[in-house]
A = this chain, B = another copy of it.
Amino acid sequence: MRHSSRAEVDPFIVMDVMEAARAAEEAGRHIIHMEVGQPGSGAPRAARERLVAEMEAGPLGYTVALGRPDLREAIAALYGEWYDLDLDPARVVITAGASGAFLLAFSALFDAGDKVALGEPCYPSYRQILRALSLVPVGLQTDLASRYQPLPRQMSGDLAGLIVASPANPTGTMLDKTAMGALAGSCAERGISLISDEIYHGLQYNGRAISALELTDEVYVVNSFSKYFSMTGWRLGWMVVPPDHVRLIERLAQNMFICPPHAAQVAALGALSPEGRAELDGHRAVYAANRALMLEGLAAAGFDRVAPADGAFYVYADVSEITTDSQAFCAEILEQAGVAVTPGLDFDPVRGERTVRFSYARATADIEEGLARLKGFMSTRAAAE
């Protein structure tokens, strides 16, 4: 059976790392996981309890395509708490993860052949989802001077869209209000549709993250229950769309998804309760402690050229003084130090051979052990040279 050309997406290199780590564990080794982008914690207790209760109360049938009204209201209220915004719940669209939100947003905004820009390094699936929808990803090279975020002067009239992420994956860097405003203004001027990926909001350590909604209503904002809310496997996210796009998205969602997973919607309501939020804020405190350890420990090990780790749970390091083959270097770290780390190639096909991403989403004891191993590995390596 033949396949389409748009199905030819790149493999994830991090999958090879994960597979190698799994094989090492199966062979009896103890591995510290700094490669994965998911919390070690699960859904809050309040989320699970809510689901147990509602499962007993009646069938979890289809919800309406845009999601349960009570959940849409609870999310709208979050925009009051986090950004002091008065958001109409009618603009909140519950989705099958941020992944589902991107599928809906890209289908709603772009036609086959349209060019969509993204700052590199970035979340690799942006590019692959765009390709699978017959769209053309345009990588904009970013650097430390702009906190690895795209700049208005990189916008051009032949772009149909721009995806920004703040805090970003893999760097953790954030756009401040001025920078976000300048990008939104530049997009509006040129008729470029702006998509703001705010999936790491709630996890920031240098002041609060700015939502693109604070600057404009002419934006698709994407968020998820996978990061701050610690519910990765539940596959639930949301979008906020311009008021005149709600009906359009509703029809697309009815056909492409029918509805977001109902059990996850119920659990999300529990996660948003005061008890749920208190548990989640406890996780954030762990990440904050991990981050402080990471910045100090990585520098001590020799990884001192890092992006400003404003938010999320990553440190992105320039290792160009150590290697020009990040994939081989990460394999070496796994083999010799027993620490799984992600090479930068997934995030930046151009310069990722000289970068690595460290995740600090796991327990603090693991972070301490991982840092000690990395320090030992690097000093042995230096001695050998």
Q: Is A282 an interface residue (CB 8 A)?
A: no
Q: Which residues of B contact A256 (CB under 8 A)?
A: 99, 103, 125, 128-129, 132
* CB of A43 within 8 Å of the partner chain: yes
A23 interface contact, C-beta 8 A: no
A261 x B258 contact (CB < 8 A): no
Once the chains are docked, how many angstroms separate the CA of A215 from the CA of B63?
37
In whole angstroms, what is the CA distance A187 to B108 when docked? 32
Complex Cα–Cα for A132 and B112 (A): 10
Contact A96 B235 (CB under 8 A): yes
| Interface of A: prevailing SS | loop
CA–CA, A147 to B15, complex, Å?
47
Please tell me which one of the listed residues B62, B125, B230 contacts residue A232 in the complex, with CB atoms under 8 A apart: B62
Report which residue of A5, A7, A12, A232 has the largest number of chain B beta carbons within 10 angstroms of its beta carbon: A7
CB atoms of A234 and B129 under 8 A apart: no
Tell me which of B134, B219, B233 contacts A62 (CB under 8 A): B233
Which residues of A, 41-60, contact B by the 8 Å Cβ criterion? 41-43, 48, 51-52, 55-56, 58-60
Contact yes or no, A134 B109, CB < 8 A = no
Q: Residues of A within 8 Å of B, CB-based: how many? A: 77
List A195-232 residues whose CB lies under 8 Å from chain B: 218-219, 230, 232
A377 interface contact, C-beta 8 A? no
- The verdict on A111 contacting chain B, using a C-beta distance below 8 Å, is yes
Are the C-beta atoms of A233 and B52 separated by less than 8 Å? no
Q: Are A41 and B59 interface neighbours, CB within 8 A?
A: yes
Q: Tell me whether B38 and A62 are in contact (CB under 8 A).
A: yes
Q: Most chain-B CB neighbours within 10 Å: which of A9, A48, A60, A260?
A: A60
Contact B235 A261 (CB under 8 A): yes
- Interface window among A164-172, A262-270, A284-292, A321-329: A262-270
Chain A residues with CB under 8 Å of chain B are: 1-12, 15, 38-43, 48, 51-52, 55-56, 58-63, 96-97, 99-100, 103, 107-114, 124-125, 128-129, 132-134, 191, 193, 218-219, 230, 232-235, 242, 244-245, 248, 251-252, 254-264, 267
